């Protein structure tokens, strides 16, 4: 019977929401956003109604429910079916209202008092703190779904400048498709019914429906693209009109898997290497400057029977400039290196004519070392680089790197970490090794934090003070989304206890309550990460794989 | 490589802060999921605590352990996954902490034990070995031991411990036996004006340096430690010696080296008697700080004896009188008849004999008094004028007292003179001025003078001593050091010291008396030709009879002996101007030596010799040559000694 | 690397300067009226207290005190300086008097154990890297237990499949001892390979009695044993790297006690 079954996306085996009733599907199809779609333009294996049924779900919100939080990463867009929402424009909602914590650094004496206040019992929590959070259950059955809600809507409306979103409003698509953090918090003003579309569905809609594509692309251009172009050194000094022209001409594309961590983990478990889509191939003619807006890409060159990694590019880097400039000067050049997506990469492609018109005539070309010269390194020299890219450690801005030739396995670092976290360490001194380097299981505070996608309460967020990714213990409900997302196993769920050592249990079903924990760079402690301070043998470092020094100095 | 076993949802954090580890792991078994309880008990024998939901028990195993199990709890609510409890062991780190505390406690306990062990701390202190004492100290501390000096030794634990916090009184113990010329706790045992600090013995002297250690030896830098003026070495920057070093006062005997060496000794007449070199007079054999010249007998007598005997003192001289105030009958009865008397008698002898035989009164022919003519035309001696308190040239004043004195001398002998002297020389005893003067002689002289006759000695006086000569009572010194002469000089000096209340007129008598005794050119004053007269402390004068050695310099020590031995190996001439004594003592031929003796302050002087300065000594005591450390010449303590009463011999105590 | 070399060099230079100053002072003080032993003694006392502060700092990792690596450099350099200062202070190698002898012995032992620990900690990490395996010390019993279970499972399977108990008996006679717990401790600590050599002997001795199927089982057991021998090296090296402190710290605690006692005794007797 295998042939008779029409192939359909594997993901539809696990629909986004609970089984959607046919009535709902039909109702949705009647919505203006969908009713205009030509369902024939959708391929057979992903029909429109299938997308609606499997890649979206209906979510109902009570007044005050916070739907999205500013700064969250998300992987779904929302379409308002009925009800009214409010977008908080300025000032931003206080962090405690959206499930964040304000990271306050302890002063010296408070830090010192940890010496005698830390518990020996693991993972003790003071439960009196938990009651203050405004959490309530959502309505998605079959999943633990909790929401943070605003208790006092009028005062929020008073204090904050808001805009209303009514039915047929679409929002959140940038986060879903472009890896942009949610730009504003949105809460529901009255009872609202929303259609939440996950990114795969959104991608299909954009791909096959011109209206959706137009809407999404316009918004993308306006918000993500222009922002990125403005901040790029290539387009410095351009007027607003010129920038608009550039923005209009720029193409944007995504490569790789949005949820690369899932596929990466799967691939690793099975021992295979991850697929890396080729963005630009060595030897091809460069037709535009590739600017990376989010994610990572690998620059490779052919060597023997394989491809050798020269370097990797992240957000803000660009590819192809040298070749285009040389071509502008009249030479006949082709790309000297290939560009492949590592995990996920979101690109802007600025066509060559635009460059001719607005960039190259300004003679701001500064000599940079052509990438192919990196090929003069010995193979052994680049081996750490290859390994780091393969393990996706290039994502890390604060990866814990341990020099095993110096480490005496004394565990002073783990004890120091425990001393700043109430007696509980937040990392394990093991990890993948290459020669004498180990990247330990401590949160790397990634440039592309996939853990932040999908947190129901906003407990995991980027701290405004330090930029570290932290989990607010008070609002975490222990759903495990972040822990499961992290491709490096750096987030751990723990059973929490009271001071006597008894497991704290959910009053309803007596299941032990868990909380997600991870390294927070000792945000609330004076002096920065305690692990680095504590190592007596200079073996432990927190390195930024984006920086040049890593493969020049840290690992050499 | 083991990584995949430790995924986030199937493993716990590793907790090196925990004190206990699973007991199963301690015996190399597989540790259980839960680990020990932090208190050291087993962490739990069951994997979950089942919960009754409705009427069914459900497994409540935590997610990390695998979530609810398939088996589920048994019907009575007990978990089906149970295991026997283990016996958790302490982690290595926890053990380390315990052992460290134990080690510290053991040390403290041992110390506490040692502190109080043995009655009165004998055990505690007995294992202390501070090192051997010097031989001297060792000998007497044998019985009492350490406590002879360390007062806290062998005390109770509390006292012993507390004594660590205050200073020991070791100086007291030292002073049990050692004495000094001054306060032991003062610098140099004396009071120096600047920066007098309280010193303790142990500041400089440290014991326990071995049996033969020299704890008296101090290095230059140790001396420099206190002295403000830092002295690198003797030859480099030792302060200059005092201006006239080594002479700090004039000599007691006026011996002019220059005149003697240049004139007298080279004089042909005396060259035989003159000493060949310095050691001819100075006793080198017993040379120490001073090289004493020999006695008068040894060194000076060869030339100077003659003169002495020629210097006579005129004690009394019969002056000119106008009239005879002496009762002739008294004279006759005291002295017996005179020659004239005898002439008369012999002329009338037969008559007298007849009368005597007949028993008749004898009538002597009248002695016809001729006109009185004084036998003497001299002046009185100042001495007896002084004694009688009469003026020398005032005949009216002196006639009667002197004539009366003469009569009394005839009658009583020396007694009147003794009395007169006694009045003046109150405490000194007059006998010493008149020793050797016999009353017989006095009487004979006085009788002659009373009869207005010159005294005729039976023979010329060649032996010296008291004698009468015509109108004078004289004394001739026997030899050097004649006590009578010496005492008359002392007598004269005594009167100089202002012990008289005099009238102005009488003052001239006094001065003449003094002058006649003290004049170096005449009479016994010749003594003062050599013996200097110097001021005393109370404003008076005294004669320097004895050789005065150099002033006591209590803190420096110089031994000629050592130097002479070195400077005079056989054959070197000590008179050699570049060797011998003259290496250091160089004659100053232009010295105004004698002038100094014209005044009486002994501290004002001009020495015959150039002062010795530091560079002279530094010729030998310099870098790389002879020793030049401070202690070679200087002492710190003022006359150190022993307190003998603490030396006792117990064996003879009974 | 360079930063570390510079750090040690600077501290050594400072320590040497201090020691030279104290040494010169001590020499000069002999000839003036100062008691150099008091100055050098209290300097040594202060230095040892500073060395002991390292342990205090390690108990306070939550405070932004100076990085532990600097403290270690100061501790090592200070320890060497303390040895030199000890000789400057005592002027001899062996004192008289039981109290001082106890103090000297404990001091020497502390210093020797410290030097031993430093040397060991410079050498062993590389050895551990060269085993191509990384394991946390506390996990070793669990890992060994798993390996042991697997090996025994192989033996069971082999016996079941082949019906012969040659391998099983050989295992009970030899290899089961090996798998029970870490073996060849001293040899591993000193860098030898006696474990693997012994294993090879066991394989070779039984090989002639096996058929191909059994040999395949033996190979799998050999792989397990190979991993276990690496774990043995880890166990030995990590034990020593943790265990030397069980000497160093208690001795240091004892030293502190004896030091205070020495000061009291000196002050009772020597003013």
Structure tokens at A512: 């032990």
Helices of type H across A99-249: 108-117, 153-159, 173-178, 199-208, 210-219, 226-231, 240-249
Please name the member of B164, B220, B226 whose beta carbon is closest to the beta carbon of C264.
B164
Question: What distance in Å separates residue A120's CA from the closest CA in chain B?
Answer: 6
Q: How many CB atoms lie within 10 A of CB B182?
A: 15
d(CA A266, CA A287): 35
Mutate to test the interface with C, among A415, A534, A542, A552 (most CBs of C within 10 A): A534
Exposed e or buried b per residue across A359-375, where buried means at least 16 C-beta atoms within 10 angstroms of its C-beta = bbeeeeeeeeeebeebb
Residues in chain C predicted with pLDDT less than 50, given as ranges, are: none
Residue C181 with chain B: CB contacts under 8 Å: 28
The pLDDT of residue B637 is 86
Global pTM reads: 0.79
Apex B121 CA angle, B118 and B122, nearest 5: 65
**Cβ neighbours of C143 in B, within 8 Å:** 2
Q: Give phi and psi for A245, each to the nearest 5.
A: -60, -45
Chains with 3 or more CB pairs under 8 A to chain C: A, B
Kindly state whether B89 is in contact with chain C, defined as any CB-CB distance less than 8 angstroms.
no
Selecting from B8, B38, B53 the residue whose C-beta is nearest the C-beta of A483 gives: B8
pLDDT 10s digit of each residue in chain A, 556 long? Answer: 344 456 677 777 777 777 778 888 888 888 888 888 887 888 888 888 888 888 888 888 888 888 888 888 888 889 898 888 888 887 788 777 777 776 778 888 888 888 888 888 888 888 777 765 556 665 554 444 667 777 777 887 888 888 888 888 888 888 887 777 888 888 888 888 888 888 888 888 888 888 888 888 888 877 777 778 887 877 877 788 888 888 888 888 888 777 788 878 877 777 776 678 888 888 888 888 898 888 888 888 888 888 888 888 888 888 888 888 888 888 888 888 889 888 888 888 888 888 887 777 765 555 555 666 666 777 777 788 888 888 888 888 899 999 999 999 999 999 999 999 999 999 999 999 988 999 999 999 988 888 888 888 888 888 877 888 999 888 888 888 899 889 898 999 998 888 888 888 877 777 788 899 999 999 888 888 999 999 999 999 998 887 666 665 666 5
Kindly state the DSSP code that residue C192 receives in the 8-state scheme: -
- Classify burial at B50, counting beta carbons within 10 Å of its beta carbon; exposed 0-12, middle 13-18, buried 19 or more: buried
Helix (H, G, I), strand (E, B) or coil at B398: helix
Diameter over CA atoms, chain B:
195
**Nearest residue on chain C to B171, alpha-carbon basis:** C271
Determine the Cα–Cα distance for residues B651 and B142; give it in Å rounded to an integer: 15
For chain A, domains (ranges, CATH) are: 1-93+160-208 (2.60.120.10), 210-376 (2.60.120.10), 388-554 (3.30.70.20)
Q: Is C91 at the interface with chain B, CB within 8 A?
A: no
Say which residues have a Cβ less than 8 Å from residue A100's Cβ, sequence separation at least 6.
Answer: A69, A71, A458, A459, A461, A472, A475
Is the CB of B8 less than 8 angstroms away from the CB of A489? yes
d(CA A500, CA B286): 100
Alpha-carbon span A339 to A313, nearest angstrom: 9
- Give B466's DSSP letter: E
| pLDDT for the residue numbered A4 | 47
| A/B interface, count of CB pairs below 8 Å | 85
**Total CB pairs under 8 A between chain B and C:** 119
Is A281's Cβ below 8 Å from some Cβ in B?
no
Contact A493 B64 (CB under 8 A): yes
Nearest to C141 among B31, B220, B224 (CB): B31
Measured between alpha carbons, how far is B54 from B70 in angstroms, rounded to an integer? 19
Tokens coding A550: 């890593």
User: Beta-carbon neighbour count of residue C49 at 10 Å?
Assistant: 12
Backbone region of residue B498 per phi and psi (left: phi > 0; alpha: psi in -120 to 50; beta: other values): left
C34 touches B219 (CB < 8 A)? no
Task: Kindly write down the DSSP assignment for every residue of C139-183, as one continuous string.
Answer: GHHHHHHHHHHHHHHHHHHHHHHH---HHHHHIIIIIHHHHHS--
Q: Is B512 helix (H, G, I), strand (E, B) or coil?
A: helix
The pair of structure tokens assigned to A552 is 């020049």
Burial category of A321 from C-beta neighbours within 10 Å (exposed 0-12, middle 13-18, buried 19 and up): buried
Please name the chains neighbouring A, where neighbouring means 3+ C-beta pairs under 8 angstroms.
Answer: B, C
pLDDT of residue C186: 94
Tokens describing residue C266: 């000196």
Task: Describe chain A by its helix, strand, coil percentages, rounded to 5.
Answer: 35, 25, 40
Best mutation target among A538, A540, A552, A555 (most C Cβ atoms within 10 Å) is A538
CA distances from B30 to B21, B69, B602 (A): 12, 20, 110
Q: Which residue has the tokens 């410290």?
A: C114
Does the beta carbon of C125 lie under 8 angstroms from any beta carbon of chain A?
A: yes
> Which residue from A89, A92, A88, A84 is spatially nearest to A63, judged by alpha carbons?
A84
Give the nearest partner residue to A491 out of B2, B8, B37, using CB atoms. Answer: B8
For residue A538, count other CB atoms closer than 10 A to its CB: 20
Reading the block at residue B280, the tokens are: 């001819």
Residue B536: per-residue pLDDT:
82
Distance CA B220, CA B197 (A): 20
Q: What phi and psi, each to the nearest 5 degrees, are found at residue A304?
A: 60, -130
Query: What is the model's pLDDT at position A45?
Result: 80
Q: What is the pLDDT of residue C38?
A: 87
Cβ–Cβ below 8 Å for C246 and B226: no
CB-based contacts of B651, cutoff 8 Å, min separation 6: none
Length of chain B counted residue by residue: 654
Q: Does the CB of C130 have a partner CB in chain A at under 8 Å?
A: no
Task: Answer whether B315's CB lies under 8 Å from B475's CB.
Answer: yes
Question: How many other β-carbons are positioned within 10 Å of the β-carbon of residue A136?
Answer: 13
| Residue B92 to residue C271, Cβ atoms within 8 A | no
Instruction: Domain ranges for chain B, please list them.
Output: 1-90, 313-324+372-482+491-522
Helix/strand/coil (H, E, C) string of A247-271? HHHCEEEEEECCCHHHHHHHHHHHC
Q: Which of A140, A137, A136 is nearest to A57 (CA)?
A: A140
Say whether A435 and C129 touch across the interface (CB within 8 A). Answer: yes
Q: How many whole angstroms separate alpha carbon B292 and alpha carbon C267?
A: 53
B108 contacts on C by Cβ (under 8 Å): 257
Measured in angstroms, the CA of C212 and the nearest CA of chain B are apart by 29
Q: pLDDT tens, C149-169?
A: 999 999 999 999 988 888 899
Q: Tell if the CB–CB gap between B60 and A510 is shorter than 8 Å.
A: yes
DSSP assigned state of C86? H
Question: How long a stretch of residues is chain A?
Answer: 556
Domain parsing of chain C, residue ranges: 2-131+244-269, 137-239
User: Using an 8 Å Cβ cutoff, are B514 and B522 in contact?
Assistant: no
| Contact map slice: C 102-141 vs B, CB within 8 A | 133-136, 138-139, 141
Taken in order C178, C179, C183, C188, the sign of the CA dihedral is: positive
- Cβ of residue A512 closer than 8 Å to a chain B Cβ: yes
Residue B420 has φ and ψ, to the nearest 5°, of -60, -45
Q: Which two tokens stand for residue A340?
A: 């492949």
- Asked whether B18 and B35 are in contact (CB, 8 A), the reply is yes
Strands A251-256 and A399-403: unpaired
Determine contact: B129 vs chain C, CB below 8 A.
Answer: yes
Contact call for residues A530 and A419 (beta carbons, < 8 A):
yes
CA distances from B214 to B135, B392, B559 (A): 10, 73, 22
Chain C 222-251, residues with CB within 8 Å of chain B CB atoms: 242-243, 245-246, 249-251
Q: Which residues of A90-120 are buried (b: 16+ CB within 10 A; e: fewer)?
A: eebbebbbbbbbebeebeeeebeebeeebee
Of C4, C121, C242, the CB nearest to A538: C4
ipTM of the complex: 0.90
For helices B415-424 and B395-412, give the axis angle rounded to 10 degrees.
120
pLDDT at B1: 46
Q: Crossing angle, helix C194-207 and helix C212-269, to 10 degrees?
A: 160
Q: Is B106 on the interface with C (CB under 8 A)?
A: yes
- Tell whether A407 lies on the interface with C, counting CB pairs under 8 A: yes
| Tokens matching residue B568 | 């005079």
Most B-contacting residue of A115, A118, A119, A120 (CB-CB within 10 A), to test interface: A120
Type and span of the H or E element at C228: helix C212-269
Q: Which residue of C has its CA nearest to A537?
A: C69
DSSP tag of B61: -
| Token code pair at residue B272 | 């035989």
Residues 6 or more apart whose CB falls under 8 angstroms from that of C247 comprise C109, C113
Question: At CB < 8 Å, which residues of chain B contact A?
Answer: 2-4, 6-9, 11-19, 37-38, 49, 51, 53, 58, 60, 62-64
Query: Low-confidence residues of chain B, pLDDT below 50?
Result: 1, 571
Chain A residue with the nearest C-alpha to that of C120: A408
Nearest to C249 by CA among C84, C103, C52, C49: C52
> Do the chains contact at B8 and A492, CB–CB below 8 Å?
yes
């Amino acid at each position: 019977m295998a042939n008779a079954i029409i192939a359909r996306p594997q993901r539809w085996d696990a629909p986004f929401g609970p089984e959607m009733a046919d009535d709902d599907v039909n109702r949705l199809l009647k919505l203006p956003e969908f009713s205009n779609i030509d369902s024939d333009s959708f391929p057979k294996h992903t029909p429109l109604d299938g997308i609606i049924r499997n890649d979206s779900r209906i979510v109902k919100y009570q007044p005050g429910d916070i739907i999205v939080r500013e700064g969250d990463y998300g992987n779904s867009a929302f379409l308002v079916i009925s009800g009214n929402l409010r977008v908080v424009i300025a000032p931003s909602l206080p962090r405690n209202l959206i499930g964040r914590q304000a990271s306050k650094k302890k002063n010296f004496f408070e830090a010192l008092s940890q010496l005698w206040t830390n518990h020996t019992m693991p993972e003790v929590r003071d439960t009196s703190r938990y009651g203050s959070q405004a959490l309530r259950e959502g309505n998605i059955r079959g999943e633990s779904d909790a929401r943070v809600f605003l208790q006092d809507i009028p005062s929020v409306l008073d204090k904050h400048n808001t805009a209303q979103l009514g039915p047929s409003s679409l929002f959140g698509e940038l986060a879903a498709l472009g890896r942009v953090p949610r730009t504003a918090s949105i809460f529901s003003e009255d009872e609202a019914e929303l259609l939440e579309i996950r990114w795969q569905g959104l991608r299909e809609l954009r791909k096959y429906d011109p209206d959706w594509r137009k809407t999404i692309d316009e918004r993308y251009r306006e918000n993500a693209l222009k922002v990125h172009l403005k901040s790029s050194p290539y387009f410095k000094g351009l007027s607003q009109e010129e920038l608009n022209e550039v923005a209009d001409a720029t193409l944007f594309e995504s490569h790789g898997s949005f949820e690369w961590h899932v596929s990466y983990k799967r691939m690793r478990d099975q021992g295979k290497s991850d697929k890396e889509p080729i963005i630009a191939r060595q030897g091809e003619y460069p037709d535009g400057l590739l600017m990376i807006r989010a994610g990572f890409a690998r620059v490779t060159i052919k060597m023997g029977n394989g491809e050798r990694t020269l370097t990797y590019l992240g957000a803000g880097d660009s590819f192809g400039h040298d070749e285009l400039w040389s071509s502008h000067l009249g030479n006949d050049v082709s790309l000297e290196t290939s560009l492949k997506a590592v995990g996920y990469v979101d690109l802007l492609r600025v066509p060559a004519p635009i460059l001719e018109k607005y960039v190259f005539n300004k003679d701001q070309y500064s000599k940079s070392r052509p990438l192919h010269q990196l090929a003069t390194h010995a193979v052994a020299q680049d081996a750490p680089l290859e390994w780091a890219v393969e393990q996706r450690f290039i994502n890390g801005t604060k990866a814990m790197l341990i020099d095993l030739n110096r480490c005496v396995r004394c565990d002073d670092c783990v004890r120091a970490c425990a001393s700043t976290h109430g007696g509980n360490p937040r990392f394990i001194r093991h990890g993948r090794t290459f020669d004498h380097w180990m990247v330990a299981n401590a949160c790397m505070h990634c440039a592309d934090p996939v853990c932040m996608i999908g947190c129901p309460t906003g407990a995991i967020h980027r701290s405004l003070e330090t930029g570290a990714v932290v989990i607010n213990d008070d609002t975490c409900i222990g759903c495990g989304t972040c822990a499961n997302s992290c491709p490096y196993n750096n987030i751990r769920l723990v059973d929490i206890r009271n001071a006597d050592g008894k497991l704290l249990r959910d009053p309803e079903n007596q299941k032990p309550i868990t909380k997600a924990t991870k390294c927070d760079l000792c945000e609330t402690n004076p002096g920065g990460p305690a692990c680095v301070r504590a190592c007596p043998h200079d073996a432990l470092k927190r390195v930024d794989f984006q920086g040049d020094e890593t493969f020049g100095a840290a690992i050499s | 490589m083991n990584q995949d076993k430790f995924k986030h949802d199937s493993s716990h954090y590793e907790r090196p802060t925990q004190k206990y580890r699973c007991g199963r792991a301690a015996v190399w078994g597989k540790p259980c999921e839960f680990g020990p309880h932090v208190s050291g008990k087993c962490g739990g024998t069951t994997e979950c605590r089942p919960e009754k939901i409705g009427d069914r028990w459900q497994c409540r195993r935590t997610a990390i352990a695998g979530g609810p199990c398939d088996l589920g709890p048994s019907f009575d609510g007990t978990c089906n996954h149970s295991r026997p409890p283990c016996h958790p062991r302490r982690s290595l780190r926890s053990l380390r902490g315990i052992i460290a505390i134990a080690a510290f406690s053991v040390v403290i306990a041992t110390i506490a034990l040692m502190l109080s062990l043995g009655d009165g701390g004998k055990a505690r202190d007995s294992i202390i070995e501070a090192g051997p004492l010097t031989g001297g100290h060792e000998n007497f501390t044998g019985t009492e031991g350490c406590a002879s000096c360390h007062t806290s030794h062998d005390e109770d634990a509390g006292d012993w411990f507390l004594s660590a916090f205050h200073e020991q009184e070791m100086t007291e113990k030292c002073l049990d036996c050692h004495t000094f010329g001054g306060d032991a706790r003062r610098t140099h045992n004396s009071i120096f004006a600047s920066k007098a600090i309280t010193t303790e013995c142990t500041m400089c002297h440290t014991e326990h340096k071995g049996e033969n250690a020299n704890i008296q030896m101090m290095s230059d830098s140790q001396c420099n430690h206190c002295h403000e003026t830092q002295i690198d070495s003797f030859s480099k920057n030792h302060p200059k010696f005092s201006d006239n070093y080594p002479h700090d006062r004039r000599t007691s005997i006026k011996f002019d080296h220059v005149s003697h060496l240049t004139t007298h000794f080279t004089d042909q007449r005396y060259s035989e008697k003159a000493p060949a070199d310095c050691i001819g007079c100075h006793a080198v054999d017993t040379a120490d700080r001073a090289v004493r010249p020999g006695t008068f007998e040894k060194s000076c007598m060869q030339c100077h004896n003659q003169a002495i005997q020629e210097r006579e003192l005129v004690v009394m001289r019969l002056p000119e009188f106008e009239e005879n105030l002496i009762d002739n009958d008294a004279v006759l009865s005291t002295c017996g008849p005179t020659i004239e008397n005898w002439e008369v008698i012999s002329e009338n002898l037969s008559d007298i004999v007849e009368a005597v035989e007949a028993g008749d009164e004898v009538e002597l022919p009248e002695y016809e008094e001729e006109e009185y003519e004084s036998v003497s035309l001299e002046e009185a001696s100042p001495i007896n004028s002084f004694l009688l308190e009469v003026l020398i040239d005032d005949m009216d004043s002196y006639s009667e007292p002197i004539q009366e004195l003469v009569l009394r001398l005839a009658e009583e002998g020396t007694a009147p003179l003794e009395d007169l002297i006694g009045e003046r020389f109150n405490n000194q005893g007059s006998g010493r001025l008149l020793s050797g003067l016999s009353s017989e002689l006095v009487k004979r002289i006085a009788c002659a003078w009373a009869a207005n006759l010159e005294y005729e000695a039976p023979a010329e006086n060649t032996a010296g001593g008291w004698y009468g000569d015509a109108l004078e009572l004289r004394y001739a010194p026997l030899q050097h050091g004649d006590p009578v002469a010496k005492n008359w000089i002392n007598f004269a000096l005594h009167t100089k010291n202002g012990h008289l209340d005099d009238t102005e007129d009488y003052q001239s008598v006094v001065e003449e008396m003094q002058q006649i005794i003290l004049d170096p050119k005449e009479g016994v004053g010749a003594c003062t030709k050599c013996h200097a007269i110097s001021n005393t402390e109370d404003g008076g004068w005294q004669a320097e009879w004895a050789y005065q050695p150099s002033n006591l310099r209590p803190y420096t020590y110089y031994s000629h002996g050592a130097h002479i031995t070195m400077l005079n190996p056989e054959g070197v001439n000590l008179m050699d101007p570049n060797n011998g004594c003259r290496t250091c003592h160089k004659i100053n031929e232009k010295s105004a030596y004698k002038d100094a003796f014209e005044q009486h302050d002994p501290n004002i002087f001009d020495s015959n010799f150039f002062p010795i300065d530091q560079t002279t000594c530094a010729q030998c005591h310099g870098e790389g040559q002879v020793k030049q450390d401070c202690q070679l010449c200087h002492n710190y303590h003022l006359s150190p000694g022993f307190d003998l009463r603490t030396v006792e011999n117990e064996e003879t105590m009974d | 690397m360079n930063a570390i070399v510079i750090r040690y060099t600077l501290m050594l230079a400072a320590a040497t300067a201090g020691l030279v100053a104290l040494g010169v002072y001590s020499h000069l003080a002999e000839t003036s009226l100062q008691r150099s032993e008091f100055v050098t003694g209290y300097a040594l006392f202060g230095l040892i207290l500073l060395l002991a502060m390292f342990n205090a700092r390690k108990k306070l990792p939550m405070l932004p005190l100076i990085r532990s690596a600097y403290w270690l450099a100061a501790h090592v350099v200070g320890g060497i300086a303390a040895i030199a200062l000890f000789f400057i202070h005592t002027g001899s190698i062996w004192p008289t008097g039981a109290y001082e002898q106890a103090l000297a012995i404990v001091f020497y032992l502390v210093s020797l154990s410290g030097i031993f620990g430093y040397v060991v900690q410079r050498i062993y990490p590389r050895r551990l890297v060269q085993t191509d395996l990384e394991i946390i010390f506390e996990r070793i019993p669990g890992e060994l237990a798993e390996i042991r279970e697997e090996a025994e499972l192989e033996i069971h399977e082999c016996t079941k499949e082949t019906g012969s108990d040659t391998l099983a008996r050989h295992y009970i006679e030899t290899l089961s001892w090996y798998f029970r717990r870490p073996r060849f401790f001293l040899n591993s600590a000193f860098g030898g390979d006696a474990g693997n050599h012994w294993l090879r002997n066991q394989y070779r001795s039984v090989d002639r009695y096996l058929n191909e199927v059994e040999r395949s089982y033996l190979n799998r057991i050999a792989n397990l044993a190979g991993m276990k021998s690496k774990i043995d090296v880890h166990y030995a090296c990590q034990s020593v790297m943790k265990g030397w402190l069980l000497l160093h710290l208690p001795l240091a605690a004892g030293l502190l006690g004896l030091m205070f006692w020495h000061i009291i005794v000196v002050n009772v007797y020597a003013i």
